[in-house]
Structure 1
């Protein structure tokens, strides 16, 4: 039975892919606790302290993993912040958001935010991160596209799919991109992908800690393949790479090489922005 004390630790149990939300939350918090973090995320620290869950026992502690996660998240933050600078009253639609705390890092005080996630993930998010006046949580399967009917098309729209697509089948990824492009004209989408070699490691069960096995990742895409995303639909009219910046220690030293030198540059994790065609003028 849940405690009536809102400050009491909250027992948490999620299944399979939804549990990855706890992994990414923990990595952000580990980085945020550093004296000079690459990602300032006090809300993530607050949540890890609030949730009754064996984070360290399940996921281990790795400064490298935390740094890499922060670099990836910062790519998304940068794109959302740039969008809100251009479209202060736009809508940010976050697919499969889990316990992402981006709203508290980059919100501008005027935008609308819509989270679309599976029912168990939304239920936990509502407990831990109750929505504010400009936030809405929708319990739905992001791949079924009915959520697009809930988006106000009088506003500019940016869709984020952070840590989502790798857990979908390739056909689902293409259908999701096509559906967003065709139903949200003039909008854009930012998504991330793991390279094919990494997806194979996960599918072979080789990515795990002593207490946690990463769920299978059916979809992988090498960074050099990003142009293929345009073939999902004629309504996808632009594809752009989002490159991580900064880094600490060895990661910071090697990052420019990883981004520039083949074959590493073509077989690295990637964050990509897709631009959607405007609705045709009926006249």
Structure 2
């Protein structure tokens, strides 16, 4: 650990280090499902016992890569349709998506808690089209920083499961009503997984996952529409793998009960345009 940065984060913000580590582990594989040289660079710069704290599970890194790939595809598709749009990343932590999918013209806004934003600013200084805002993602004051003349895509990756269910519903509704014509990409853990975190059973030898108050089984996805009349469509984003054992296992996980109804999900919510 020769890096100069020695982050000390609270339990939920520390998950930014966990996800960073998983991306770097996967990116170092010769058969990587996710290419993320920026994540590898960051892990090498940060003075933190990643392997001792989080372990080196190849399965965890692969599953993380599948989730990240879902978000990357949605953002890339949005930027292909709206090259000068704005991507708003809620609870972004040390996500390096900008360096993976940026098109050279879009605007990016990262919203996270002050301690996480401070660390991000030190490790990933923003470029001319990036802005970092230290704020609670559930406090919609950040919406005032978004250019309403541009198309907007909001991402909430690895965020909502750490919020109380009522706050999740409120945040979804607020986004739908404040960004007409926009979309929100979010992920959710299944209920069985969240229960394990709340009872302290989701742990490795050096790390225990924080409690996750909010969860959603895949079969419940359409209930998200009830958060606001401004939500016009709910779409499942399915992970893909073009090689390795997961390439053959994924179709079974996505279609065969009971696995299909109790798996982690990535979902897109589309918002109505203003009348």
Range class of TM-score, shorter chain: over 0.9
Q: Is the 1:247–1:255 contact (alpha carbons within 8 Å) kept by the matching residues of 2?
A: no
The answer to whether residue 240 in structure 2 is matched with residue 245 in structure 1 is yes
Q: Show the counterpart of 2:13.
A: 18
Could you tell me the TM-score, scaled by structure 2's length?
A: 0.98
How far 1:258 moved relative to its partner?
0.7
- What is the aligned partner in structure 2 of residue 52 from structure 1? 47
Q: Please report how far the alpha carbon of residue 9 of structure 1 lies from its aligned counterpart in structure 2 after TM superposition.
A: 2.2
Unaligned ranges ≥5, structure 2: none
Among 214, 220, 227, the residue aligned to 2:222: 227
SS state of the match for residue 66, structure 1? helix
Structure 1: runs of 5 or more not aligned: 1-6
Q: Is the 8 A contact 2:38 2:96 kept in 1?
A: yes
Runs of 4+ in 1 over 6 A off after TM superposition: none
2:73 to 78, 84, 91: 78
1:154 aligns with 2:132: no
Tell me the residue number matched to 1:114. 109
Match of residue 168 from structure 1: 163
**2:13 aligns to what SS in structure 1?**
helix
1:250, distance to aligned residue in structure 2 (A): 3.3
Q: Give distance in 2, aligned partners of 1:23 and 1:209.
A: 12
CA deviation map 1:227-278 (0-9, x unaligned):
0000000001110000000165433321100101122111100000000011
CA distance in 1, matches of 2:3, 2:190: 40
Shift of 1:212: 1.0
Tell me, in whole angstroms, the C-alpha distance in 2 between the residues paired with 1:235 and 1:148. Answer: 17
Say which SS state the counterpart of residue 115 (structure 1) adopts.
strand
Counting matched residue pairs gives 274
Moved more, 155-164 or 200-209: 200-209
Tell me the residue number matched to 2:173.
178
CA contact (8 A) 2:93 2:112 kept: yes
Q: 2:128 maps to what in 1?
A: 133
Alignment of 1:218 with 2:219, yes or no, is no
In the alignment, what sits opposite 1:4? Answer: none
Q: CA deviation at 1:10?
A: 1.0
RMSD: 1.0
Query: C-alpha distance in 1, partners of 2:119/2:261?
Result: 37
**1:189 matched to 2:189:** no
